[in-house]
């Protein structure tokens, strides 16, 4: 595994940090380079910008009974006394509500803000030395120095470092560890972090969009308000570290958050996080005049977004297993807080979220994890679903309860293979046990965001592992690895003239798309399941890389996108032989039809996470999978860990920078205008019978296939028969 942490010179504004200011630590077997030394921060306007006069007279509801003394001093413009009186009132209200809030199950913060294997206590002691970690990259600000909340210590100025630092996951961890140990030093550290942050992170003007700034992007505002700050406040409000002035500054900053979230909301999964944060302000800060307006506005937006973002089959419209659950999690956070404080939650909201949670059951691989579709993550469905039982009625979600409990409660799904007709995925399986075989065909639309150029990608779990895999999801930087993961090159699909799909260049999402069927075809039978999808978009051109920048071999490719009418149409049909003849394992037949008016070079890519590949006459055999390809004129190549002329043969092992490894990419290459290619993907163990050859007619209209096995048997299959009767195969 590679770690590429901080190995270059770093630019901080106009400063350059030399190598002498870097240090090296060892954690386990991993060496991590980190930045060390103080950064002199520029003199700027200090926050919060909200003046006491505006805050007390325009932001606070001084008509509340508990605010009588605050109103008395505010009317006299004695804001010193008004602050003291407000702090007393706030502490009284927080004390009365603390038990309710802390009864909500604790949620571990997100981001990679700890070293591998580091305990919360060890991390909190590290924070006291001003060594902070964001997206897995540490930065030492010096024990006597001040945190620069706009710093970026990454070698390539990876902007997520600064953005995710400003989500304040560490603050929440300090609070949680304080609740366990009652160590006052953690309260003082949290107070110090807040003071330095609120001074440096000045709220931007309303004209600054929700996407701009280092510290006040609206996604961070929503996460701070809807995930981290409330827990910090309810933990520390009555400690000596949280002085009267700090507490009032906190409330002023929260009001500034509310105003920004209300005025500068965006869309997509960001909007869900924003409105979760805004609604929680409306619930947890009853002293604000605007609380009801903010709360109602947030709930209205969240209800509307359920119809706008969730397909009828339950998948969130970004079609990413990661962001699908980001959206559900933010609804969950709000629902739990709302119920804790007797705020009604619309029944429609929980019903639609139940359908969305069922996606994590339907997509689940035999090991209990989700595939990393688009910018997704391979997380355990049980881990994701277990907290959702707190807001889903069990009688309405027996299969969710089954998955969330690891099969000890609820009801196992009464289906095996299943289709998502709107979002365009077909999931194949022959069982729910760990030893089962599972496959997924991606015949999906492009989605609303976080997309990869991966239509018709096929994934397989067999032999107890994620066997036919892909590049996965990598850090959102501008690296070649990130470009690779976004491209068709990192997926099990077809390149045309060595170029990948390019939907991004001309794709526009319309709200009405959420109600459209994907166009995928499928059938489910006793012995065979099948699914089919089609890609008829452009290939090549600037594949619209991360942040809109081309890859190193595409700088001059902006005019290469071919007109659609002279392009290539790719239709992929996948047949899952789930009940194979005796002595054979379940396997997959893949039929690719490429249609064009002009001759092209077609590269069929298969990323197999198995070792010791051997090229044979029919294809490639690996330890756990045989890949047999039809055609006498094809050529076979194995690419592993290649960086020139372009990246190929890698898989991400995490979403942090430097986390990837080499895998085998099998390339079957053929030249033609229109062609039909048949591929057998046969999972096998050591010493088992395996597929060793495949024949299939190369004309587009052909439908016959013949597969030979290492024990001498040969079986013939007809596409029409498998589609119509879900049967196939006779001993010849």
Residue 12 has pLDDT above 50, yes or no: no
- Phi then psi for residue 27, to 5 deg, are -125, 110
* Adjacent-strand bridge partners of 661: 651
Only one residue has tokens 């803000």, namely: 113
Residue 452 is given by DSSP the state: -
| pLDDT above 70: percentage of residues in the chain | 89
Quick one: average pLDDT of 481-502?
96
- CA pseudo-torsion sign 245, 250, 256, 258: negative
User: For the whole model, what pTM was predicted?
Assistant: 0.89
Helices (H), 79-204: 79-102, 120-128, 160-165, 169-181, 184-200
Would residue 602 be called left, alpha or beta, if left means φ above 0 and alpha means ψ between -120 and 50 degrees? beta
* Adjacent-strand bridge partners of 662: 650
Quick one: average pLDDT of 3-17?
29
CA 158 to chain centre: 17
Dig out the tokens for 690 from the structure.
């395996």
How confident is residue 19, by pLDDT bands cut at 50, 70 and 90?
very low
Quick one: average pLDDT of 400-409?
94
* Adjacent-strand bridge partners of 682: 626
Residue 316 is given by DSSP the state: B
Residue 152 falls within a domain, yes or no? no
Contacts (Cβ under 8 Å, ≥6 apart) of 96: none
Residue 16 has pLDDT above 90, yes or no: no
- Write the CA distances from 566 to 35, 199, 535, integer angstroms: 52, 59, 14
Which is more confident, 324 or 617? Answer: 324
pLDDT (0 to 100) of residue 44:
62
- Residue 58, Cβ neighbours under 10 Å: how many? 12
Residue 650 has pLDDT above 70, yes or no: yes
**Read out DSSP for 367-393?**
TSBPP--SS----BHHHHHGGGGGTS-
Dig out the tokens for 213 from the structure.
């700034």
Q: pLDDT per residue over 695-719, tens digit each? A: 999 999 999 999 999 999 999 999 9
Quick one: average pLDDT of 651-680?
96
- Residue 125, Cβ neighbours under 10 Å: how many? 17
- Residue 19, Cβ neighbours under 10 Å: how many? 10
* Adjacent-strand bridge partners of 458: 441
How confident is residue 17, by pLDDT bands cut at 50, 70 and 90?
very low
pLDDT (0 to 100) of residue 557:
43
Residue 42 has pLDDT above 70, yes or no: no
Q: pLDDT per residue over 499-550, tens digit each? A: 999 998 888 899 999 999 999 999 999 999 999 999 999 998 754 444 344 3
Of 35-44, 249-258, 385-394, 665-674, the least confident: 35-44
- Residue 617, Cβ neighbours under 10 Å: how many? 9
* Adjacent-strand bridge partners of 593: 571, 676
Dig out the tokens for 18 from the structure.
């030399």
Quick one: average pLDDT of 323-351?
96
Residue 684 is given by DSSP the state: -
Specify the CATH number for the domain of residue 480: 2.70.98.70
**Read out DSSP for 386-430?**
GGGGGTS-GGG-HHHHHHHTTTSSS---S-SSEEETTTTEEEEES
**Read out DSSP for 24-64?**
EEEETTEEEEEEES--PPPP---S----HHHIIIIIB-TTS
Contacts (Cβ under 8 Å, ≥6 apart) of 544: 502, 504, 505
Residue 113 has pLDDT above 70, yes or no: yes
Q: Which helix (H) or strand (E) holds 678?
A: strand 675-683
Dig out the tokens for 477 from the structure.
């930087």
Residue 678 falls within a domain, yes or no? yes
Report d(CA 160, CA 157) in Å as an integer. Answer: 9
**Read out DSSP for 528-563?**
EEEEEEEE-S-BSS-TT-GGGPPPTT-TT-TT-PPP
Residue 700 falls within a domain, yes or no? yes
pLDDT (0 to 100) of residue 334:
98
pLDDT (0 to 100) of residue 506:
83
Residue 427 falls within a domain, yes or no? yes
Of 39-43, 166-170, 306-310, 477-481, the least confident: 39-43
pLDDT (0 to 100) of residue 112:
85
- Phi then psi for residue 12, to 5 deg, are -115, 105
- Phi then psi for residue 641, to 5 deg, are 60, 45
Q: pLDDT per residue over 226-271, tens digit each? A: 999 999 999 999 999 999 999 999 999 999 999 999 999 999 999 9
pLDDT (0 to 100) of residue 136:
92
Report d(CA 303, CA 300) in Å as an integer. Answer: 5
pLDDT (0 to 100) of residue 499:
94
Residue 39 has pLDDT above 60, yes or no: no
Report d(CA 618, CA 611) in Å as an integer. Answer: 18
CB-side neighbour CA atoms (13 Å) of 585? 24
Write down the number of H helices and E strands in the chain: 18, 29
Contacts (Cβ under 8 Å, ≥6 apart) of 512: none
Structural domain harbouring 610: 418-731
Residue 309 falls within a domain, yes or no? no
Are the CB atoms for 273 and 265 separated by under 8 Å?
A: no
pLDDT (0 to 100) of residue 129:
97
Residue 599 falls within a domain, yes or no? yes
Among the listed residues 271, 272, 283, the one whose alpha carbon sits nearest the alpha carbon of residue 345: 283
pLDDT (0 to 100) of residue 551:
40
Residue 192 has pLDDT above 60, yes or no: yes
Residue 368 falls within a domain, yes or no? no
Helices (H), 25-108: 52-54, 68-75, 79-102
Report d(CA 279, CA 590) in Å as an integer. Answer: 49
* Adjacent-strand bridge partners of 714: 708
Average pLDDT for the chain: 90
**Read out DSSP for 481-513?**
HHHHHHSGGGSSSEEETTB-B--TTT----GGG
Counted domains in the chain: 1
Which is more confident, 7 or 438? Answer: 438
Rg (CA), the chain: 28
CA 283 to chain centre: 28
Residue 163 falls within a domain, yes or no? no
Report d(CA 532, CA 441) in Å as an integer. Answer: 8
Report d(CA 612, CA 623) in Å as an integer. Answer: 6
Among the listed residues 180, 268, 284, the one whose alpha carbon sits nearest the alpha carbon of residue 229: 284
Q: Which helix (H) or strand (E) holds 294?
A: helix 291-309
- CA pseudo-torsion sign 338, 340, 346, 350: positive
Dig out the tokens for 423 from the structure.
């979002």
Of 6-10, 181-185, 373-377, 680-684, the least confident: 6-10
Are the CB atoms for 32 and 1 separated by under 8 Å?
A: no
pLDDT (0 to 100) of residue 290:
98
Dig out the tokens for 503 from the structure.
């939907």
């Amino acid at each position: 595994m590679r770690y590429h942490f901080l190995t270059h010179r770093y630019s901080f504004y106009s400063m350059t940090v030399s190598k002498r200011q870097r240090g090296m630590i060892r954690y386990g077997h991993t060496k991590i380079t980190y930045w060390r030394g103080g950064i002199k921060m520029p003199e700027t306007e200090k926050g919060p910008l909200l003046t006491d006069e505006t805050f007390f007279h325009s932001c606070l509801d001084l008509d509340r009974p508990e605010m009588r003394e605050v109103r008395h001093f505010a009317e006299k413009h004695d804001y010193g006394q008004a602050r003291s009186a407000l702090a007393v009132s706030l502490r009284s209200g927080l004390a009365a509500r603390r038990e309710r809030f802390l009864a909500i199950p604790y949620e571990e913060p997100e981001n990679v803000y700890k070293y591998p294997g580091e305990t919360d206590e060890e991390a909190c002691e590290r924070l006291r030395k001003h060594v902070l970690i964001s997206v897995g990259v540490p930065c030492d600000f010096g024990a006597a120095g001040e945190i620069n909340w706009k710093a970026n210590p990454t070698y390539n100025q990876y902007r997520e470092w600064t953005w995710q630092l400003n989500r304040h996951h560490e603050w929440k961890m300090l609070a949680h560890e304080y609740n366990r140990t009652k160590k006052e030093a953690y309260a003082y550290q949290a107070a110090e972090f807040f003071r330095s942050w609120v001074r440096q992170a000045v709220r931007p003007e309303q004209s600054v969009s929700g996407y701009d700034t280092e510290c006040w992007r609206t996604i961070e505002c929503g996460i701070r308000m809807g995930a981290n700050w409330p827990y910090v406040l309810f933990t520390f409000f009555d400690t000596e570290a949280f002085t009267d002035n700090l507490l009032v500054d906190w409330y002023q900053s929260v009001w500034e958050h509310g105003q920004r979230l209300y005025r500068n909301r965006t869309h997509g999964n960001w909007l869900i996080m924003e409105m979760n944060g805004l609604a929680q302000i409306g619930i947890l800060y009853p002293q604000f005049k605007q609380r009801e307006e903010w709360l109602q506005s947030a709930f209205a937006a969240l209800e509307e977004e359920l119809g706008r973002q969730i397909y009828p089959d339950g998948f969130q419209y970004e079609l990413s297993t990661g962001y699908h659950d980001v959206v559900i999690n933010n609804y969950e956070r709000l629902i739990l807080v709302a119920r804790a404080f007797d705020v009604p939650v619309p029944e429609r909201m929980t019903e639609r979220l139940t359908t969305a949670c069922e996606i994590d059951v339907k997509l689940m691989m035999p090991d209990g994890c989700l595939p990393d579709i688009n910018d997704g993550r391979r997380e355990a469905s049980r881990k994701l679903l277990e907290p959702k039982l707190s807001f889903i009625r069990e009688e309405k979600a027996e299969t969710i309860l089954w998955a969330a409990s690891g099969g000890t409660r609820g009801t196992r799904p009464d289906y095996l293979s299943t289709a998502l007709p709107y979002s365009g995925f077909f999931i194949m399986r022959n069982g729910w046990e760990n030893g089962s075989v599972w496959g997924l065909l991606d015949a999906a639309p492009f989605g609303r965001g976080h997309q990869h150029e991966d239509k018709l990608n096929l994934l397989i779990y067999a032999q107890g592992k994620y066997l036919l895999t892909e590049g996965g999801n990598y850090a959102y930087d501008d690296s070649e690895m990130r470009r690779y993961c976004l491209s068709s090159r990192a997926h099990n699909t077809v390149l045309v003239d060595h170029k990948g799909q390019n939907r991004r260049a001309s794709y526009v999402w319309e709200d009405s798309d959420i109600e459209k069927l994907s166009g995928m075809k499928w059938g489910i039978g006793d012995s065979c399941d099948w699914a089919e999808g089609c890609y008829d978009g452009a290939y090549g051109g600037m594949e619209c890389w991360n942040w809109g920048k081309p890859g190193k071999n595409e700088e001059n490719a902006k005019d290469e996108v071919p007109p659609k009418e002279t392009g290539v149409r790719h239709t992929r049909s996948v047949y899952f032989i789930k009940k194979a003849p005796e002595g054979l394992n379940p396997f997959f037949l893949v039929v690719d039809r490429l249609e064009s008016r002009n001759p092209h070079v077609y590269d069929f890519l298969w990323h197999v996470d198995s070792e010791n590949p051997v090229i044979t006459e029919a294809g490639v055999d690996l330890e756990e999978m045989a890949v047999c390809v039809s055609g006498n004129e094809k050529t076979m190549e194995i690419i592993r860990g290649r960086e020139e002329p372009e990246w190929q043969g890698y898989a991400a092992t995490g979403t942090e920078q430097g986390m990837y490894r080499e895998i085998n990419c099998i390339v079957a290459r053929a030249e033609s205008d229109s062609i039909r290619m048949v591929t057998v993907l046969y999972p096998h163990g050591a010493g088992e019978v395996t597929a060793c050859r495949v024949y299939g007619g190369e004309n587009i209209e052909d439908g016959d296939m013949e597969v030979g096995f290492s024990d001498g048997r040969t079986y013939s299959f007809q596409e029409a028969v498998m589609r119509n009767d879900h049967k196939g195969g006779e001993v010849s």
